Amino acid sequence: MEEELRLKLSVKKVGIARYSLPLIVLLLVTVCGTVSAVAYILYQFSVNVTVQSNPDVTFWNWGTGMEANTFSYGVTIFPDIKTIDENITYGIVVLDASGHTCSLRIGSVVTPANIAKLNVTIYDSSGTIYTKEWTDFSALPTSWESFPVGANKKYAIWMEITGATGATPGSTSDITFDMKLEV
């Protein structure tokens, strides 16, 4: 019985077809060659950076006469009441002899539930150059709104904030504005 079992086992041979091994090698070479054969051209450019204290259009502190690239401003609001500040301590100043285009948007609002309406007006002694009112703070940042600024001019920023009916006394809201200068 044992011999018969050996005969049956020895009769069944396992073999590899004569094309199987060369085909596997060819596929591996093709795949590896495709993956590693990457050609590219490298271009370079350089940038010469000059440091300047402030851009040609920047913020201006009316009290100190100092220029600033950013500022913070605090205001107290009340539920259902419009708070108006005709000059928020800082304005916009153009430091060169060219006119420019600036843009403004609301970048973010922390605790927007305290604010029902927000209005920003930028003006000088000649009149208003920009005014925008926002009542929806759900899609931030808002879109950019452009306005022109004249050469060697200073502009004041007027702000109106209306507190929401449900504004919680003691809570705070932070509004971040972004101003963009096209150069």
pLDDT in tens, 56-83: 999 999 999 999 999 999 999 999 999 9
CB 178 within 8 A of CB 134: no
pLDDT in tens, 118-166: 999 999 999 999 999 999 999 999 999 999 999 999 999 999 999 999 9
Q: What is the pLDDT of residue 12?
A: 47
163 within some domain: yes
136 within some domain: yes
Q: What is the pLDDT of residue 33?
A: 53
Q: Which two tokens stand for residue 9?
A: 């086992």
48 within some domain: no
- CATH code of the domain in which 67 resides: 2.60.120
161 within some domain: yes
3 within some domain: no
7 within some domain: no
Q: Which two tokens stand for residue 36?
A: 């590693």
14 within some domain: no
pLDDT band, very low/low/confident/very high, at 23 (cuts 50, 70, 90): low
Domain boundaries, position 165: 57-182
Give the three-state DSSP class for 28.
helix
Number of independent structural domains in the chain: 1
125 within some domain: yes
> Considering the entire predicted model, what is its pTM?
0.72
Rounded to whole angstroms, what are the CA distances from 67 to 62, 98, 136, 154?
9, 18, 32, 11
Give the alpha-carbon dihedral of 147, 84, 55, 45, to 10 degrees.
-60
